[in-house]
């Protein structure tokens, strides 16, 4: 009696690549060690053919299948089929449930092999760099896709990311990955499929980044005021974006005020919260006499969200988009590495308004508060220092 399992596996754990007909004879020495504790991934092309009449082969298959089931709980697997061959009705009944157990398809592979235009997925490779989502590169006979998954996120998170990417794409000013599909994972979680952009390891010209970002700010405007078409996230923190006519009201209520409430709820930091409330009262004075029009912002522009393609042109990704004061884009400049060529090129397109340097800490405060909420009290001193500066 022969059992053949043919499946394609995508996700974060690393699976031992078993060549066709190799079965599981290397299971004890290789497969278990590779599966346990690794956050890398390879493609399991063929799990092999084993003879269930042999007790050793049967046990190897049984234990290996249990490991695959456990990994399947952590990340989606696309099972092409479980085929049972042989005369024994007992064996056929014994293993028939495996088809049912693993029959739920991987919607990512289904889209790529359907609407995505591919007929074959060649390999799936993990892509590092993120701390919130699991990212993989899908190489197919039709091209390459970039896929992010999150087992704890609703589709609304990736829908908001797609909306931001499409908004930036619409300005035709700077390169961003084109979103292709957002959907739900089996059981729980969600995914986004987008264009894969090959990055250059040698970097690019910061002046191009500054110039193209300024063009996006100048071109991307909104008649609805400040906010965005939907709420999104900054890191994993919710970011409310209701349409608001006045920038001071928006920044006070939905940026600084919102983060201060989270600090109070999470840490009971009364001192910072009370000082923050006093700062909110001073915002109209601190932002007076400015010409502020809604500009489309990336919203989370730090070095990890900036890259350069193979031609050396800038690419921005992982946005937290909204329409706001263009100067708020530089709130993450403390970990962005922008140099003089960047700012010089930017202000040639979007002229600098008087007091820019004095206002910068005010926009950095939003992101310091968010880091305090996300990562803990090591960011508290920076928050207090900025607040005290303006009181």
Tell me how crowded residue 265 is: count the other CB atoms within 10 A of its CB: 11
Instruction: Report the alpha-carbon distance of residue 40 to residue 390 in Å, rounded.
Output: 47
199 pLDDT more than 80: yes
CA nearest 300: which of 385, 256, 364, 384? Answer: 364
Collapsing DSSP states into helix, strand and coil, what is residue 371? helix
Q: pLDDT-based confidence at 187, cuts 50/70/90?
A: confident
Q: pLDDT-based confidence at 93, cuts 50/70/90?
A: very low
**pTM across the whole model:** 0.77
Which tens digits make up the pLDDT trace of 211-237? 999 999 999 999 999 999 999 999 999
Comparing 103-112, 306-315, 373-382, which segment has the lowest mean pLDDT? 103-112
Which own/partner pairs from 285-288 qualify as long-range (CB within 8 Å, at least 24 positions apart)? Answer: 286/359, 286/362, 286/390, 287/247, 287/248, 287/251, 287/325, 287/359, 287/362
Instruction: Report the alpha-carbon distance of residue 102 to residue 9 in Å, rounded.
Output: 12
Average pLDDT in the chain: 79
User: Which segments within 271-324 are labelled E, that is strand?
Assistant: 295-297, 306-308, 314-316, 322-324
Q: pLDDT-based confidence at 176, cuts 50/70/90?
A: very high
What's the confidence (pLDDT) of residue 125? Answer: 85
Burial 207-217 (b: 16+ CB within 10 A, else e): bbbbbbbbbbb
170 pLDDT more than 80: yes
The residue written with tokens 């456990």 in the block is 70
Comparing 191-195, 200-204, 323-327, 367-371, which segment has the lowest mean pLDDT? 200-204
What's the confidence (pLDDT) of residue 248? Answer: 98
286 pLDDT more than 70: yes
User: Cβ contacts of residue 27 below 8 Å, gap of 6+?
Assistant: 60, 63, 64
- Told to judge if 231 belongs to the known catalytic residues of this protein, a careful annotator would answer no
CA nearest 233: which of 335, 148, 144, 111? Answer: 148
- Crossing angle of helices 356-375 and 257-267, rounded to 10°: 30
CA nearest 387: which of 255, 274, 258, 240? Answer: 274
389 pLDDT more than 80: yes
What's the confidence (pLDDT) of residue 76? Answer: 37
Stretch 21-35: mean pLDDT: 33
Segment (H or E) for 72:
helix 55-74
What's the confidence (pLDDT) of residue 203? Answer: 81
78 pLDDT more than 70: no
257 pLDDT more than 50: yes
Cα 142 off chain centre by? 24
Which tens digits make up the pLDDT trace of 329-344? 999 999 999 999 999 9
108 pLDDT more than 80: yes
54 pLDDT more than 80: no
Between 83 and 153, residue with greater pLDDT: 153
What are the C-alpha distances in Å from 309 to residues 37, 125, 257? 33, 19, 38
- Which of 231, 300, 309, 340 is labelled catalytic? 300
Between 51 and 287, residue with greater pLDDT: 287
Stretch 292-320: mean pLDDT: 96
What's the confidence (pLDDT) of residue 97? Answer: 37
Instruction: Report the alpha-carbon distance of residue 370 to residue 376 in Å, rounded.
Output: 10
């Amino acid at each position: 009696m022969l059992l053949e399992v043919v499946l394609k596996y995508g996700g974060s754990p690393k699976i031992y690549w078993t060549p066709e007909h190799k079965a599981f004879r290397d299971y004890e020495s290789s497969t278990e060690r590779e599966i346990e504790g690794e956050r890398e991934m390879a493609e399991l092309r063929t799990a092999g053919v084993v003879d269930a009449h042999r007790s050793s082969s049967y046990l190897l298959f049984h234990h290996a299948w249990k490991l695959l089931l456990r990994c399947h709980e952590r990340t989606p697997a696309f099972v092409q089929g479980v085929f049972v061959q042989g005369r024994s009705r007992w064996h056929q009944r014994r293993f028939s449930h495996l088809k049912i157990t693993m029959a739920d398809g991987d919607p990512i592979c289904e889209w790529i092999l359907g609407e995505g235009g591919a007929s074959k997925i060649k390999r799936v490779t993990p892509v590092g760099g993120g701390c919130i989502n699991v990212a993989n590169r899908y190489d197919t006979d039709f091209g390459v896709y970039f896929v992010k998954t999150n087992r704890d996120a609703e589709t609304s998170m990736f829908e908001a990311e797609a909306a931001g990417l499409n908004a930036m794409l619409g300005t035709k000013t700077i390169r961003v990955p084109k979103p292709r599909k957002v959907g739900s994972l089996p059981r729980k979680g969600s995914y986004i499929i987008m264009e894969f952009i090959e990055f250059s390891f040698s970097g690019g010209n910061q002046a191009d980044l500054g110039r193209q970002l300024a063009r996006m700010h100048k071109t991307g405007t909104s008649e609805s005021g400040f906010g965005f078409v939907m709420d999104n996230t900054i890191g994993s923190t919710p970011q409310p974006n209701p349409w608001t006519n006045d920038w001071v009201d928006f920044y006070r209520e939905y940026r600084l005020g919102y983060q201060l409430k989270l600090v109070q709820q999470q840490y009971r930091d009364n001192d910072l919260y009370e000082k923050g409330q006093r700062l909110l009262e001073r915002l109209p004075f601190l932002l007076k006499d400015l010409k502020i029009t809604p500009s489309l912002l990336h919203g989370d522009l730090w070095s990890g969200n900036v890259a350069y393609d193979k031609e050396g042109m800038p690419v921005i990704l992982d946005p937290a988009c909204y329409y706001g004061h263009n100067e708020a884009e530089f709130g993450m400049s403390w970990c962005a590495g922008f140099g003089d060529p960047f700012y010089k090129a930017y202000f040639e397109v979007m002229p600098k308004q008087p007091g820019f340097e004095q206002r910068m800490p005010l926009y950095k405060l939003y992101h310091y508060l968010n880091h305090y909420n996300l990562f803990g009290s090591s960011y508290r001193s920076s928050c207090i220092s900025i607040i005290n500066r303006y009181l």
